[in-house]
Structure 1
Amino acid sequence: MAHQDAARDAALVLFSGGQDSTTCLAWALARYPRVETIGFAYGQRHAVELDCRAPLRAGVAGLQDWSGRLGPDHVIDLGASLAAIGATALTTETEIRMTEAGLPSTFVPGRNLVFLAYAAALAYRRGLRRIVAGVCETDYSGYPDCRDDTIKAMQLALNLGLERRFVLETPLMWVDKAATWALAEELAGPPLVELIVEHSHSCYLGNRANRHEWGYGCGTCPACELRAAGWRRWREERI
């Protein structure tokens, strides 16, 4: 019965253009017959990630005969609304540091909650039951809106508020970055890993000038350090 339900389901993937969301897109395409994507422009410092989305979508769709499963892409322009709430290192040219609250200054308050609310509204209109997000509580920077409890609470709120039975899928919640690289290889082999290295973007500073073995980025921001460390662990484990 569960397999039959999955065959009828359709999914909406929160797709930023980064490593995690690209892996989640492949994960969803491997499971569901119809998959759409949603991205957000919110005045992010690393807006170059938006330019990476189309090549990544095309590249992932070409793997494992998934092109017939990938549906439309939707980009929601939130303007400067999140930046207006308060300056963060992801929306202004400020230093990335730890704040008095014990969180990195890259934390954008409420960002993932806003994203999920918009995604659910779109899923409601499009008849999509599964909402897939690449949030993670294992390798993360302490963001409270990435925690499993938060996602479960958000699923309940969305289902009550929209009178739907959405399922918020978080395939990366309990895996580290090394395991994320491994999952990409498991899903579609070296071609997906190479696609993520060459075309995805995770660097908070939006750096696409410096090419590392794990991809492009400044190499020193928290996102780059996390991605690089995961790459090294994954490579060591494969030997």
Structure 2
Amino acid sequence: MSASLDHVPAAKSALVLFSGGQDSSVCLAWALTHFERVETIGFDYGQRHAIEMTTRTTVLEKFREVFPLAATRLGEDHVCDLRGFGAVAESSLTRETEIVMTERGLPSSFVPGRNLVFFVYAAAVADRRGLDHLVGGMCETDFSGYPDCRNETLQAMQTVLQLGVERPFEIHTPLMWIDKAQTWAMSLELGGQPLVDLILEETTTCYKGERGERHPWGYGCGECPACQLRKTGFEHFIENAQPAER
């Protein structure tokens, strides 16, 4: 961390759960406009799209290059090895199986308790680093039914962390009530076309980690739920951005 960030108080400091995907990149941009000191944390849980562990580093570098706020406010990046958890919580995200709906009404890509585990580790790092705010890209609008993305779940998690760590943690979810088209619009509002371009070119959202073909909405297989949400959201974003016909 640069010396200029050493003395930023905890109340003005945040830790962003950062995968290097579209949502976490928008959340990083949001955090940089709301806090004076921002650090990031990533999780290696044996995900099929392990390429995100590489691309997230590239995205962070691009943030520092392109955005003045990032150059002055973006601090250390942390990576946690959660492969043991990934092996226990098997899903289509941690093994080569088709993504389908299960008997529980949840997609097989659901990793039980993943976001809860993420926040526990993030809280431990944040406590050590002196950061009172935790930022995540969870969303109820486009959340595929994942119960650990619900606002109610994360509000309860905030209370658990405040009690369990005895620190005034606050969990922020800037995307909670917006859809993917609005997420694209938020990226334009926060960072202009440079942020939209960065997300299109550098971020990885695809559950299969495909980066072979560049689509209008970015890279991905175009078939998994994450790609479908990103693709549809981008198309609606472009439609809404077009000037109305007279």
Smaller-chain TM-score bracket: over 0.9
1:200-215 → structure 2 map (5 Å cutoff): 200-215=203-218
Residue 137 of structure 2 corresponds to residue 137 of structure 1: no
Deviation (angstroms), 1:83 = 2.3
Q: Which residue of 2 is the match for residue 24 of structure 1?
A: 27
1:158-237 → structure 2 map (5 Å cutoff): 158-237=161-240
> Which of 142, 148, 151 does residue 151 from structure 2 map onto?
148
Higher mean Cα deviation, 94-103 or 74-83?
A: 74-83
Counterpart of 1:62 in 2: which secondary structure? Answer: helix
Give the gaps of 5 or more residues in structure 1.
none
Q: Do the aligned residues in 2 keep the contact of 1:17 with 1:201 (CA within 8 Å)?
A: yes
- State the one-letter code of the partner of 1:97: V
> Counterparts of 1:110 and 1:220 in 2: how far apart (Å)?
25
Deviation (angstroms), 1:84 = 2.1
Q: Do the aligned residues in 1 keep the contact of 2:14 with 2:35 (CA within 8 Å)?
A: yes
Counterpart of 1:68 in 2: which secondary structure? Answer: helix
Q: Which residue of 2 is the match for residue 88 of structure 1?
A: 91
Q: Which residue of 1 is the match for residue 127 of structure 2?
A: 124
4+ long deviations beyond 4 Å: 5-8
> Counterparts of 1:218 and 1:82 in 2: how far apart (Å)?
23
Q: What per-residue deviation string (whole Å, max 9, x for no partner) do you get for residues 189-236 of structure 1?
A: 000000000000000011111210111000011000000000000000
> Which of 73, 77, 96 does residue 77 from structure 2 map onto?
73
Q: Do the aligned residues in 1 keep the contact of 2:47 with 2:86 (CA within 8 Å)?
A: no
Counterpart of 2:223 in 1: which secondary structure? Answer: coil
Deviation (angstroms), 1:60 = 1.7
Counterpart of 2:72 in 1: which secondary structure? Answer: coil
> Counterparts of 2:130 and 2:187 in 1: how far apart (Å)?
27
Q: Which residue of 1 is the match for residue 57 of structure 2?
A: 54
> Counterparts of 2:137 and 2:63 in 1: how far apart (Å)?
16
TM-score normalized with structure 2 length: 0.92
- State the one-letter code of the partner of 1:195: L
Pair 101,8 (structure 1): closer, same or farther in 2 beyond 3 Å = closer
> Counterparts of 1:62 and 1:31 in 2: how far apart (Å)?
19
Counterpart of 1:137 in 2: which secondary structure? Answer: coil
TM-score normalized with structure 1 length: 0.95
Deviation (angstroms), 1:139 = 1.1
> Counterparts of 1:56 and 1:90 in 2: how far apart (Å)?
22
> Which of 114, 118, 124 does residue 115 from structure 1 map onto?
118
Q: What per-residue deviation string (whole Å, max 9, x for no partner) do you get for residues 126-160 of structure 1?
A: 00011000000011100000000000000000000
- State the one-letter code of the partner of 2:77: D
> Counterparts of 1:80 and 1:97 in 2: how far apart (Å)?
24
